[in-house]
A and B are shown apart, each in its own frame.
Chain A
């Protein structure tokens, strides 16, 4: 099935076209969402939202970009929305636990400090990396994830982000510098706490 045939089929709500779309893009959509949200179940739920969005807005799809670029854009936007919602929920949770703990008179700070030599070292490593990546400015985060996880070329990232190739290069450079700085700080702090 060619891309125009697929688009036409989706507009006409053709079941074969829908099946083809899901078969072809579900893995990429779920994996991209997973690289952003870091939990596979959340990424799978998000992928449903992505495909619904594709289905609802296919008539507005402009053929200036390829279908896969358009799908990646929707996936990235949905993932970022999810992270924003999660951030708001976390702030609320932290405020709630702060109020509860201060009411109990318990110490808040020492409870969840990350350490690398726990039983679940792999989980800790993931947390450290996710925290560092999530603290990057949004554009740097998108460029970094698409390049390092998706192994996308600068040109493709530029198309998805609607930027020039040189802007993507600059974003990636800054993302890496920021990440190095954050991770080195974390490792230095960690060394101080263990000695």
Chain B
């Protein structure tokens, strides 16, 4: 048995997977080769960490923290899943309030600005004159402007 067999079968030796004959030769080689013996001992020392890790236990309060996390998640999903009518009514009422606010604002501006109300009054006067002259009775639509002049 040579050194390369030893180095290729470290797990097999550790897990008792070698045949009886191979196992005997493996151990005989270790007695005669100090380098392989050192490597096997280092290998066993490092892989013993696996067994050590299995014995380590998590924090006993880890479960409580998980439950708390799940409860806060439940709370936030409940907030997100409001009833359907609320999800429709809320944006609709906000939109309606906005429209009302714009209308109120616009009417206030019209009342306070003399320029705007003058223009509206002027347009109303023109309409009154047009109806008095009865322009539509004797001119074409395209010539309305000239007819008024």
Measuring CB to CB, which residues of chain A are less than 8 angstroms from any residue of chain B?
Answer: 13, 18-19, 22-23, 26-27, 30-31, 34-35, 40, 43-44, 47-48, 51-52, 55-56, 116, 122, 125-126, 128-129, 148-149, 176-177, 179-181, 183-184, 187-188, 190-191
Contacts and interface: CB of A to CB of B under 8 A. Distances in A.
Contacts of B65: 44, 48
B77 to A, nearest CB: 8
B88 interface: no
A149 B39 contact: no
Summarize B's interface: helix, strand, loop or mixed: helix
The 9 closest A-B pairs by CB, nearest first: A30-B58, A176-B11, A187-B42, A44-B62, A26-B63, A48-B69, A180-B10, A184-B7, A129-B49
Contacts of B136: none
A149 B58 contact: no
Contact of B58 (A27, A129, A176, A187): A27
B58 A191 contact: no
Contacts of B74: 13, 55
* Residue from the set B7, B43, B59, B70 with the largest chain A CB neighbour count within 10 Å: B70
Contacts of A30: 58, 62
A176 B9 CA distance: 9
23 contacts: A18-B71, A26-B62, A27-B58, A34-B58, A40-B56, A40-B58, A44-B62, A48-B65, A51-B69, A51-B70, A55-B70, A122-B49, A125-B48, A125-B49, A129-B46, A149-B50, A176-B11, A177-B8, A180-B7, A183-B46, A184-B7, A187-B38, A191-B35
B107 interface: no
Contacts of A18: 67, 70-71
A78 B74 CA distance: 21
Summarize A's interface: helix, strand, loop or mixed: helix
B48 A47 contact: no
B49 A191 contact: no
B16 interface: no
B71 to A, nearest CB: 8
Nearest to B61: A44
A48 B73 CA distance: 11
B43 A183 contact: yes
B49 A126 contact: yes
B66 A48 contact: yes
Nearest to A148: B50
B121 interface: no
B58 A31 contact: yes
A51 B42 CA distance: 39
Given A18-B67, A22-B70, A149-B54, A47 B62 contact: yes
Given A47-B66, A55-B73, A40 B59 contact: yes
Contact of A43 (B38, B43, B58, B66): B58
A129 B47 contact: yes
Given A187-B38, A191-B38, 18 more contacts: A26-B66, A30-B58, A35-B53, A40-B58, A43-B58, A44-B59, A44-B62, A55-B70, A56-B73, A122-B52, A129-B46, A129-B47, A129-B50, A176-B11, A180-B8, A183-B10, A184-B7, A187-B43
